[in-house]
Structures are given as structure tokens and as C-alpha cells.
Amino acid sequence: MTTTVELTRFRVSPERADQLLAARPGMLSDFAADRAGFLGARLVRLSDDEWLDIVDWRSGDDFAASRAKGANLPGIQKFFDLIDELISAEEGTMR
């Protein structure tokens, strides 16, 4: 089975890391309820202020549809609002 993997690297000020972690369950809950093909996600802290979000999607089309929705729900918006800077966003496939 092939899945699509979203890799998003971003910065959050260290003072807001606890807020980011507290907002994470709401974001994941909103994704599960609203995003077709959402399979799960892992959040990796790379340094004091850099993070990597690894999100698994059933397909590239599901990922594209999710991106088009943006921060359309409160839990997603709350998480996104805590991000200070987007460093990179990539898409790959996992086999």
C-alpha cells in the first residue's frame, strides 16, 4: 500500500511550546473529523524552536484536499496560529 506523507518543518518560540503541545489534540481531532484520508500524524521537536510535523494521508488527492481547506476549524486554527515561521513543506510517498 502506498501512502502520501506530508513533512512540514516550522518554528515556534520556546515560550509557546507548551501551548503548541496543548493545542495538538484539538488539531488532530479536527483533522480526523474533517479530512478524508487522514491516517495519523507525529510531531517531532528538532531543537528549542524547530519542529517537524509528519502527517500520513491515504493519497496525494486527500492531502491536496486538506491543504485547500486550510485552517477551517477552531482546533486547526489554534495550532496553526502558534506557528511563528514555516520553514519547509514537502510531500512524499511511502511504500
Domains, the chain: 3-88 (3.30.70.100)
Cα 67 from Cα 60, distance rounded (Å): 11
Ranges assigned E (strand) in the chain: 3-11, 38-45, 50-57, 85-94
From first to last of the 95 residues of the chain, give the pLDDT tens digit.
799 999 999 999 999 999 999 999 999 999 999 999 999 999 999 999 999 999 999 999 999 999 999 999 999 999 999 999 999 999 999 98
User: Amino acid identity of 89?
Assistant: A
Summary count for the chain: helices (H), strands (E): 3, 4
